[in-house]
Amino acid sequence: MPIKVQNNLPAKKIMERENIFMMDETRAVSQDIRPLYIAVLNLMPLKEDTEVQLLRSLSNTPLQIEITFLTTASYIGTNTKASHLNEFYQTYDDVKHRKFDGLIITGAPVEQMEYEEVQYWEELKQIMEWSNTNVTSTLHICWGAQAGLYYHYGIQKYLLPKKIFGIYEHHVHHRKVPLLRGFDDVFYAPHSRYTGVNHEQIVACDDLTVLADSDEVGEFLLVSKDGKRIFVLGHLEYDRLTLDLEYKRDIAKNLPIELPVNYYPDDDASKRPLLRWRGASNAMYSNWVNYYVYQNTPYDWS
């Protein structure tokens, strides 16, 4: 898929090395075509890594997509250079007058805090409320999914006895739902989180359908009846080595961390991890872009 980004975005060079077609601004303006406008609210500390992961995940449809990266104005992290944020990111105030075909809200390393304690919670609430009228479909990831479930439906999260960390098996339900087209009955997905969501409250919510879950780690993929809100309680966008880097980072800092489950061959952290979720990731992101964004968005929002 031709993804339109700024010419000098560092992630563009990485995608091109992987033979993923990235369209720069110069070429895009020469095509008489209406692209899909997708905003990414990137709440992760290592924003450039997340940019690469999400651009790769969105690269498997023939549609032209124009990406707008968003960051919070009420909190500026220190893990990404200010120059990168200033050049490639906008804030809610910059785009609140616009309509977007899709919005992605990423995870964030704040899940052990109460939502109201998060510095940018009020701003995030404003963005999620704005998405009800200005976005065709919003994809919420990990903590972003927990925050969305809490804001839109009042579904609570709770602290787990220990961190869910590794690659887990999931089972598909309601496979006629378009988001699941191309999925196998069983698929694998990465998790890295300290909290879960209230199962009873999800079951009691008439607007939500659980499309996939795990016997070990609970609900994974949920969708609202109108398809405007999708919640992914894991990280299908992760690279092969994302959990490896997280594990070895915590080991180097002498932080308590267990070996990621079902990740390293023979549970040997010196061996190259197995990549077992890329097919499910490609299917989910392609289905979201096609059936929930492209098929439902108006050609002219006005």
Establish whether 116 is a catalytic residue: no
Contact 73, 32 (CB under 8 A): no
Contact 71, 42 (CB under 8 A): yes
The contacts of residue 116 (CB under 8 Å, 6+ apart) are none
Q: Which of 48, 66, 123, 142 is catalytic?
A: 142
If DSSP states are collapsed to H, E and C, what string results for the chain?
Answer: CCEECCCCCHHHHHHHHCCCCEECHHHHCCCCCCCEEEEEECCCCCHHHHHHHHHHHCCCCCCCEEEEEECCCCCCCCCCCHHHHHHHEECHHHHCCCCEEEEEECCCCCCCCCHHHCCCHHHHHHHHHHHHHHEEEEEEECHHHHHHHHHHHCCCEEEEEEEEEEEEEEEECCCCCHHHCCCCCEEEEEEEEEEEECHHHHHHCCCEEEEEEECCCEEEEEEECCCCEEEECCCCCCCCCHHHHHHHHHHHCCCCCCCCECCCHHHCCCCCCCCCCHHHHHHHHHHHHHHHHHCCCCCCCC
Establish whether 170 is a catalytic residue: no
Establish whether 235 is a catalytic residue: yes
Which residues are part of the catalytic machinery? 142, 235, 237
